[in-house]
Amino acid sequence: MNTMTHCTVPFDHPALTGHFPGAPILPGVVLLDLALQAITDASSIVLHHCTINSIKFLSPVHPGEVLSISHSQMDNGAVRFDISTNNRKIVSGSLVINSK
């Protein structure tokens, strides 16, 4: 199952203040948080049972951009996720669900 979530980066997001004055970009940790929140909102996955297997930050995100966050659970139980905007991939990663 492939799930898609959309959100817009607000111009007044507090993380933009220090990253970077005059040329703001959304920090990677905020992008990761958005992906993890989208995954938990759409599934029964419990994050404290997961490990980030891989993550690549590929392109900067600027205020006002509309993000598309997609994720799907693979046959082996891992969760693959991507964040993109305007056909530009921003983040790619996967989570491994650990045994409880």
**Burial grade of 74 (CB within 10 A; 0-12, 13-18, 19 or more):** exposed
74, 88 in Cβ contact below 8 A?
Answer: no
Mean pLDDT score, 95-100: 81
* Angle at the Cα of 86 from the Cα atoms of 70 and 40, rounded to 5 degrees: 20
pLDDT at 82: 97
CATH numbers and ranges of domains, the chain:
2-8+34-97 (3.10.129.10)
The confidence score (pLDDT) of residue 44 equals 81
8-61 residue pLDDT tens: 999 999 999 888 888 999 999 999 999 999 999 988 888 888 899 999 999 999
> What pLDDT sits at residue 49?
81
Tell me the C-alpha distance between 3 and 16, whole Å: 27
Q: What is the pLDDT of residue 100?
A: 60
Contact 89, 56 (CB under 8 A): no
pLDDT digits (tens, 9 = 90+) for 48-89: 888 999 999 999 999 999 999 999 999 888 999 999 999 899
Q: What is the pLDDT of residue 98?
A: 84
Q: What is the pTM of this model?
A: 0.90
